[in-house]
Structure 1
Amino acid sequence: MISQRNIGRGLATPVTLVLIAAFAVPMAVVMLLSLHGYSDPFGPLFRTPSAAQYATVLGDFFYLKVVLETLLLAGGVTVVSVLLGYPLALWLVSVPARWRALAFVVILIPLLTNVVVRSLGIVLLLAPDGILNGVLGWFGIGPFRGMLYNYGAVCVALAQVFMPYVVLALYDVLQGTSPRVHEAAESLGASPSMVFWTVRFPMALPGLRAGIVVVFLMASTAYVSATILGGGRVLTSGMLVYREAIVNLNYPVAAALTLVMTLASLGFSGVVLLVFRRLTPWVNNAGGQGRAAATLPALPIALVRTMDVVGPILSKVLLAAAILLLLLPLYLVVMQSFNDVPQASSAKFMGFTLKWYQLVLENGNYTAAFLNSVRLAIGSTLVALAVSIPAAFALVRFRFPGISGLAVFWALPLSLPGVAIGVGMLQLLSIFFRLPPFLGLLAVHVVIVIPFCISLLVASVMQLDRSQEEAAASLGANAVQRFFRIILPGLAPGIAAASIMAFLTSFGEVTVTSFLTTARMTTLPVRIYADSTFMLEPTIHAVSAMTMLLTLIALFVLNKFLRLDRLYAR
């Protein structure tokens, strides 16, 4: 008879093999490339190890300057994301339950809309004739023509992209906090600011830690928004990696720069984890021994009184700013798609027209790119589900040596930069050149969506009623019959949720995909990204508006299977 451990290992094997082939091997290729002594795109992969590329990166002031500026930019994006994301998470928790799913649309639409579309909206927001300068003009201020094409604009754009991750990480913690804790503090005479400092904020620290780490890691390797909003004046390490790999075909330097940036980002993440570990000893001190839970310093009375007055006003201002930053750029993109202007970057409304949609429908390039994106999203969703469902059962129902390490490995693609996977897979496809580019893209997209699928499916497996399976077994149902008649119907909502999330994530992916596309195999987001660098006509806004409509429809369909507010609160 097969032991429970062997069953668990068998269920964990498919996803592990997929990630080894499509994630671990490309990462190993990046490490090997970084040890090449010189650049030879057509040379062998295995050569005598050399530290020449690391010496080039670490010994060149230009590279070090770009790495440092990128880290500072990522730090600024993280600060802005936290300042705006915390009030938004508090608002989500306070929204009545019947409206919370609708409130989640505010977070999920921007999150699932591809980064190029959101960056185009920021361009329209900060343009010299854009809405922000228009509002300032009402007060006799401006116009400011220097808000675009600088690090500030890139920081705003990246904060708009990554802020939802902070919100979701905080929401998962805040919604699990009992209101009685706050009521107890208030009953002891604590003012609102003291309740925040001594109760709300400390209890949210675990979620804040996760949000900071995720945002910093993703912002430190972002290059799409920096390309669109930087206007050639901003250079990040991600842009430099792309240039070295795609333009200069200098894979060794690109690989070394990728690993240096990855180590620097992971080093920052390690510091964050250590700091938060000291601030939250109760998380790792379940027995209640050791230091007291309250580790935040006491606030002066004068500061407490000031916070009581300023805090409510400031939180409302930050909440309004967060919602506007998430939704206003998307609204501007939609409006621009109906704007009869000769150039896409001209934000002033000149008249209503549908000609941009007509041009999109007549343009075969957009149609072909859309079909490529759909095929890629469907394929990656099916493969990810096929390996994630067994993995979810292995995590929930079976215990065997190494399962904890496998769980970390399965989630690793979320914490390592996508550009590293892109560089590694690009080199693999150049070696195995007979493989269709579609397979390389499919492998990368599967890697990207697997962690999301496993996370959602684990929650669904945990909610299955084991007694129904036992009853079916007692009536003579074999394992296959129990799976299709009991387990699969119970998993249906979770599978539907994972499918839609995986499809939308794959459909909107552009950062890694841009490394691997070819003239005949270009996805819609990459096509929009390529066209946005020229900013010729608002056809790109029309395409973007159509993709946002697709996302909105998918979210409403998803809400029928599983309420959106429960999707991230498992």
Structure 2
Amino acid sequence: MILSRNVGRSLAAPVTLWLLAAFAMPLGVVMLLSLHEYSEIFGPLLRPPSLAQFQLVLGDGFYLGVLLETLLLAGGVTLVSVLLGYPLALWLVSVPTKWRSLAFMVILIPLLTNVVVRSLGIVLLLSPDGILNNIFGLVGIGPFRNMLYNHFAVMIALAQVFMPFVVLALYDTLQGTNPRVKEAAESLGASPSMVFWTVRFPMALPGLRAGIIIVFLMASTAYVSATILGGGRVQTTGLLVYREAIVNLNFPTAAALTLVMTLASLGFSGLVIFAFKFLMPWMNTARNSGRPNATLPAVPPVLMRTQEILGPVIYWILLAAAIGLLLMPLYLVVVQSFNDVPQASSARFRGFTLKWYEIVLSNGNYTDAFLNSVKLAVAATVIALALSIPAAFALSRFRFPGLPLLAVFWALPLSLPGVAIGVGMLKLLSIFIILPPFLGLLAVHVVLVIPFCISLLVASVHQLDRSQEEAAASLGANGAVRFFRIILPGLAPGLAAASIMAFLSSFGEVTVTGFLTTARMTTLPVRIYADATFALEPTVHAVSALTMIVTLIALAVLNKIFRVDRLYAR
């Protein structure tokens, strides 16, 4: 038993040490910076603690206003994501098995496409001469010329970015529900509305809770979409943190803003967890009896009757809106890349041209940025896999004190604001100037993709046939032989899936990368972001279309190796 525990600890050590150095340390730096009394770029990191920065942030009406604006915006994004994501998750579960991998493409292609690309598509969707206004014109409504560069545009863009997380969280819960429960309710005479409120909706609540928390945490620190679609009129905390850290080099204020926003978001998460305890009473244990309390909150009869009449219509409207919001912006970006217009924001098609692709392919800056992104993504993928394989075995085959806490720690990069990691790592690189920027970017990218790799590889380790390993051991095969001859081939599908997901996630990352790039070390997503912010030519659409082609090819290869719908199967 002691030997087994030591082996498990040894397998868990590499990924833990990496996250301590590249994740926990930057967060610690952010905490120390927030306690600096004033900004001193070349000053020491350890100074006498002061609450001056928190007093500035919490005592200034401007900062408080932006904080409230961010929280309300994140709440609106979460609401839209849930309203559109829930019907999409129900549809995903109902799709026949043979078509489900294609249905998953609808979710994964936008999810793995760069956030800048998707934001550019929203610009084309909401522009005065865009497709949405053209549709409104067909029914005699509009045109609406003020849909861009406001909170509505930013909210729609962020909902398009984060809705897939709600869908996947709900799918994970819904596809694990026993269909006999629904059949039993129907056999007892329950109407479709009653089945929904007493079976399907309650069963989906754990996934809904996870989706709400994830989307709110991510939306509350987003700044890329706010920059592109806000037009300077929408201020968010993430945008202020970026400006304070990158433009003003005021790390203490940026750190204090980051921590205040993080605490506010975590406070919201706590409220969500508390509210869902009320909605899921069967998950609670009665204090005295020790038996589950399975009393469901009553559903008003008027809501039941309304759903019976309007439910199917609302479902199909929301489903069409969700699929349209996910795919239409990407389609518009591709069309715009062939559009002979002088400005990128002009959505009306004027004529076919390939000149934007010619400019992109002949522009050395784009080529260099692409190569930087490929090198970074490949290196991050290789290191993340090397760290995640032993971690997956530690989770699957060993039990030792502290393992559950380590598992939570390994998943933290998904739930804490990326801007916090960016600010902390930026300060570390400014202190250890001997380190190349590429190493800082690589360390952060590995942190960001590790949770995906571990979750995918754990499922693959569970599926390994241990009897083959035992048979090989009985025939004298040592550990190395068993690993390379039996374990590694058995992990091949999971490794392929984790590799492609990690590569695409790293290749398209821009939120944290934007803090750490330099003039000589710019990635393609950051270059697209810069061009989308300052340039007007549709070359940005051409390079965005090329990145989508890379994503499509990678997903097609992944689906051949390992059906993408099985990546999220229980």
TM-score (normalizing by structure 1): 0.98
* Aligned: 1:184 with 2:184: yes
Aligned residue in 2 for 1:16: 16
Of the structure 1 ranges 405-414 and 287-296, higher mean CA displacement relative to structure 2 is found in: 287-296
Deviation string, structure 1 residues 405-424 (Cα, Å, up to 9, x no partner): 11111001111000000000
Match of residue 28 from structure 2: 28
In structure 2, the residue matched to 1:307 is 307
Name the counterpart of 2:165. 165
Amino acid at match of 2:150: N
Equivalent residue runs for 1:476-555 within 5 Å: 476-555=476-555
- Shift of the 202–294 alpha-carbon distance from structure 1 to 2, 3 Å rule, reads farther
What's the counterpart of residue 358 of structure 1?
A: 358
Q: Which amino acid aligns with 2:391?
A: A
Contact residue 283 and residue 292 of structure 2 kept, 8 A: no
Return the offset for 1:81: 0.3
2:388 is equivalent to residue 424 of structure 1 = no
Residues in 2 aligned to 1:430 and 1:52: alpha-carbon distance in whole angstroms? 23
Aligned counterparts of 2:70 and 2:531: Cα–Cα separation in 1 = 25
1:170 is displaced (CA, Å) by 0.4
Instruction: Describe the superposition over 1:395-444 as per-residue Cα deviations: whole angstroms up to 9, x where unpaired.
Output: 11011111111111100111100000000000000000111000000001
Q: Does 1:340 align with 2:322?
A: no
Q: Deviation at 1:285?
A: 5.2
CA distance in 1 between partners of 2:535 and 2:340 (Å): 15
Query: For residues 183 and 519 of structure 1, what CA distance do their matches in structure 2 show?
Result: 61
Structure 2 residue aligned with 1:439 = 439
Question: Secondary structure at 1:232's aligned position in 2?
Answer: coil
Offset of residue 535 of structure 1: 4.0
- Counterpart code for 1:141: I
**Correspondences of 1:135-174 after superposition (within 5 Å):** 135-174=135-174
Q: CA deviation at 1:391?
A: 0.4
Match in the other structure for 1:296: 297
Partner of 1:275: 275
Query: What do the CA deviations read for 1:118-175 (whole angstroms, capped 9, x no partner)?
Result: 0000000000000000111111211111000000000000000000000000001111
Counterparts of 2:357 and 2:441, CA distance in 1:
28
Of residues 411-420 and 275-284 in structure 1, the stretch that sits farther from structure 2 once superposed is: 275-284
Calculate percent identity across the aligned residue pairs.
79
Aligned partner letter, 1:126: L
- Could you tell me which residue of structure 1 aligns to residue 561 of structure 2? 561
* CA positional deviation for 1:389: 0.3
Secondary structure, aligned partner of 1:235: coil
| Alpha-carbon offset, residue 295 of structure 1 | 2.3
Contact 2:282–2:295 under 8 Å retained in 1: no
CA positional deviation for 1:291: 4.5
Tell me if structure 2 keeps the 8 A contact 1:345–1:535: no
Alpha-carbon distance in 2 for matches of 1:21, 1:292: 44
- Larger displacement relative to structure 2 (271-280 or 36-45): 271-280
Q: In 2, Cα distance between the equivalents of 1:88 and 1:303? A: 21
Whole-angstrom distance in 1 between the partners of 2:51 and 2:130:
49
Q: For each residue in 1:325-377, what CA deviation from the matched residue of structure 2 results, as whole angstroms up to 9, or x when unmatched?
A: 00000000000000000000000000000000000000000000000000000
SS in 2 for 1:3: helix
Partners of 1:2 and 1:210 in 2: how far apart?
Answer: 36
Whole-Å separation in 2 of the counterparts to 1:79 and 1:492: 39
Secondary structure of the residue aligned to 1:556 is helix
Give the equivalent residue in structure 1 for 2:256. Answer: 256
CA distance in 2, matches of 1:491, 1:356: 42
CA distance in 1, matches of 2:518, 2:234: 26
State the match for 1:193 in structure 2.
193
Q: Distance in 2 between matches of 1:365 and 1:200?
A: 51
Supply the AA of the counterpart residue of 2:294: A
CA distance in structure 1 between the aligned counterparts of 2:16 and 2:286, rounded to whole angstroms: 32
Residue 363 of structure 1 aligns with an amino acid whose one-letter code is N
The aligned residue for residue 460 of structure 1 is 460
Task: State the Cα deviation string for residues 226-284 of structure 1 (Å, max 9, x = none).
Answer: 10000110010000000000111100000000000000000100111122123224346
Tell which deviates more after alignment, 174-183 or 20-29.
174-183
Secondary structure in structure 2 of the residue aligned to 1:349: coil
Query: Greater CA deviation, 525-534 or 134-143?
Result: 134-143
Counterpart residue identity of residue 503, structure 2:
F
Answer yes or no: is the 8 Å Cα contact 2:89–2:170 preserved in 1. Answer: yes
In structure 2, what residue type is equivalent to 1:340? D
What amino acid maps onto 1:417 in structure 2? P
Q: Deviations over 1:265-320 (max 9, x none)?
A: 001001111221232243465999535324222321x4322210100100000000
Whether 1:369 and 2:369 are equivalent positions in the alignment is: yes
Q: Deviations over 1:37-96 (max 9, x none)?
A: 000011000000000000000000100000011000000000000000000000000000
Cα drift, residue 568 of structure 1: 1.6
Q: Would the aligned equivalents of 2:226 and 2:236 in 1 still touch at CA under 8 Å?
A: yes
Distance in 1, Cα, partners of 2:344 & 2:303: 48
Matched, 1:246 2:246: yes
Counterpart CA distance in 2 for 1:167 and 1:187 is 29
Match of 2:68 in 1: 68
Residue matched to 2:218: 218
Matched, 1:386 2:386: yes
Partner of 2:534, secondary structure, is: coil
1:49 is paired with a residue whose SS is coil
Answer whether contact 2:286 2:292 (CA < 8 A) is retained: no
Distance in 1, Cα, partners of 2:252 & 2:13:
32
Distance in 1 (CA, whole Å) between partners of 2:106 and 2:294 is: 34
Q: Provide, for residues 433-482 of structure 1, a one-character-per-residue CA deviation record: whole Å limited to 9, x for no partner.
A: 11100000000100000000000001110111111111111111111111
Looking at structure 2, the residues matched to 152 and 188 of structure 1 have their Cα atoms a distance apart, in angstroms, of 45
Please give the root-mean-square deviation of Cα atoms over the aligned residues, in Å.
Answer: 1.3
> Match of 1:533, SS?
helix
Higher mean Cα deviation, 135-144 or 284-293? 284-293
Could you tell me how far 1:323 is from its partner in structure 2? 0.2
Specify the SS of the correspondent of 2:218: helix
CA distance in structure 2 between the partners assigned to 1:20 and 1:135 by the alignment: 52
> Structure 1, residues 186-241: CA drift from partner, whole Å, max 9, x if none?
11111111111111000000000100000000000000001000011001000000
How many Å apart are 1:560 and its aligned residue? 1.5
In the alignment, the residues of structure 2 paired with residue 397 and residue 183 of structure 1 have an alpha-carbon distance, to the nearest angstrom, of: 36
Aligned to 2:125: 125
In structure 1, what is the Cα distance between the partners aligned to 2:366 and 2:140? Answer: 42
Q: What is the TM-score with the length of structure 2 in the denominator?
A: 0.98
Unaligned runs of 5+ in 1: none
